[in-house]
Structure 1
């Protein structure tokens, strides 16, 4: 079928205006509006791509800095989170916009650009993973604290950079949600008069009395700022507590020194402060005489006024656990939680 095209008579200008107004106005206006719409959408797309390129450049610069300097593990985690969120947001936005074009305007979405964004996301995430200690870091499905478990007081598995994955006892009833139990004394069935290796690795059972272990405790408190809560229950049922807004210990080379212990509040008395900046001692390492005298490992020095790893006793005449002048304790818990 041949199209019948009406010939325009341009000999008279007024006739031309009349013919154009009669036949072209609606078509031309619609076409111009559509072209204007396409231009705006194209500008928006280019703006998004430019923003994406800037984000990639900034992340690449930060990644280079991380390669050349030592950073805490949580900085790598923050970078990974930033990369993932930014790429996901851009990809989703582009996909939504251009699928709309495809459905409504018969315009092919730029799948190549989307694919490039996805590839860059994978590439940079891989580089960040491999930059941890020169070794490949595999993203763990477990959180690094008890905070995500909310009001649940059960055993859960967490993953802490440097220490790997392990089970902990979360406590949401004693002082609110999100606490990791690092020490529990409830029945005296576990012997706490142990050597250095035992305290380094931890001992006991999460179902009863236990100590989490100095090595795990070091990496946990190194990963992010932590606070400490000491819960003490006396034979008469009365409970008291000591809370410290800052708590951390150093590594084994530094004898798990109590390097942070500040911002005390509570009803039990500030009897741990005398152990600040003191290394941990057991019956075979560091201040051996004190560990033997008090029957357990602790941050002992000449001025120590507490020891929650001593014998579980019910007699004031025996040397057992103590917190200041309080020597008979029915229940002891030490809890830590990321500082808000």
Structure 2
């Protein structure tokens, strides 16, 4: 199939040949008129009908009543020369005219080729749009796959921790037995850790009515032996969860993490516990809030908070206001307002009373500002890090 470039070149040649033919016809006509004028200007020269043998086969002698032969002897040589020139021009005209007719004969086929190429180009453009749309859909699917991969890696890491624990217990049965019987981080040994970092590590504890549970123990802060039950640092774990998740616990033990309300109750109820909160504001200011008394009630009382004895350098006490409040989640409204669920409005799980009077929201959205963010004492004091932990009161 000819290309657009070939068809364009052919069209240009046809136009050029047409111009040449027109020029030859003009030259012949001018030569005949010139001969007629010269004949009239000479004595003894007269006009006669053209000899058809001198004409181009495509011309009619009756249409050109101009003499092609002069009877004047004196003009014989000029006549013969003119005759030869006209014969050459007539032959060239015949060739060009024949070529012109062949080109015109091909015009329909060439027009068909152009239409076919145009249709093909339109089809290719549509296919290109379809391919682009499929590529965008693939990018979206790959993005979703990345999120799934993160969840799978988290599960794999949890399985690895459990596997390491089993291997440790098989290799060191005495140490493993001691580790399992412990009910808090007090007195745990580093060699029994499932994983370690700069501040502590992951350990297995035997929590009453729950069983063997992985917890994070902090050994470096203020004498150590802290059991960490909440941490916000990366913003990669969603804390806008339902009641079941908050009871069971979720997150990464060494990252964003919530231990679980039932474990909190079993480890603090009936014991003399103190609690500490470490915070870093968006402006990089480090705050400490410490409470000499901390306890969480049972499930039958919706894990009511019992906290008192504040001390620290934070901008006021942002937690005692929530004392004696039951825990609420987005699907479990236990706050003091019957018409509003503060957990839904503030997008977190917390011990809410009156939404507008709340003085902290440490389980809010780390990536948001205002009341739905993570803040202490006022939504004006936004945080980029928080960690809540308890231990036996010293």
Which of 260, 263, 266 is matched with 2:312 structurally?
A: 266
Q: What is the aligned partner in structure 1 of residue 227 from structure 2?
A: 180
- Distance, in Å, in 1 between the alignment partners of 2:227 and 2:179 is 19
Q: Return the offset for 1:271.
A: 1.3
**2:347 maps to 1:290:** no
Matched-pair contact (CA < 8 Å) for 2:204–2:214: yes
Q: What is the aligned partner in structure 2 of residue 324 from structure 1?
A: 377
User: Which has more helix, going by share of residues?
Assistant: 2
Matched-pair contact (CA < 8 Å) for 1:142–1:157: no
Aligned pair in 2 of structure 1 residues 295, 175: CA closer, same or farther (>3 Å)? Answer: farther
CA-based RMSD of the aligned residues comes to 2.1
- Distance, in Å, in 2 between the alignment partners of 1:223 and 1:156 is 23
- Distance, in Å, in 1 between the alignment partners of 2:367 and 2:294 is 28
Q: Return the offset for 1:274.
A: 1.0
1:170 alignment partner, SS class: strand
Aligned pair in 2 of structure 1 residues 330, 140: CA closer, same or farther (>3 Å)? Answer: closer
| Structure 2 counterparts to residues 90-109 of structure 1, below 5 A | none
Q: Return the offset for 1:149.
A: 2.8
Aligned pair in 2 of structure 1 residues 150, 329: CA closer, same or farther (>3 Å)? Answer: farther
Q: Return the offset for 1:249.
A: 0.9
- Distance, in Å, in 2 between the alignment partners of 1:218 and 1:313 is 29
| Structure 2 counterparts to residues 184-263 of structure 1, below 5 A | 184-222=231-269, 224-258=271-305, 260-263=306-309
- Distance, in Å, in 2 between the alignment partners of 1:172 and 1:139 is 18
1:228 alignment partner, SS class: strand
Q: Return the offset for 1:223.
A: 5.2
**2:349 maps to 1:300:** no
Q: What is the aligned partner in structure 2 of residue 312 from structure 1?
A: 366
Q: What is the aligned partner in structure 2 of residue 339 from structure 1?
A: 393
- Distance, in Å, in 1 between the alignment partners of 2:263 and 2:247 is 8
- Distance, in Å, in 1 between the alignment partners of 2:261 and 2:388 is 13
**2:292 maps to 1:280:** no
- Distance, in Å, in 1 between the alignment partners of 2:283 and 2:178 is 48
Q: Which has the higher contact order (CA 8 A, sep 6+)?
A: 1
Matched-pair contact (CA < 8 Å) for 1:228–1:246: yes
| Structure 2 counterparts to residues 116-127 of structure 1, below 5 A | none
Q: What is the aligned partner in structure 2 of residue 145 from structure 1?
A: 184
| TM-score normalised by the chain length of structure 2 | 0.48
Of structures 1 and 2, the larger Rg is shown by: 2
Q: What is the aligned partner in structure 2 of residue 18 from structure 1?
A: none
Q: Return the offset for 1:318.
A: 6.4
- Distance, in Å, in 1 between the alignment partners of 2:392 and 2:349 is 25
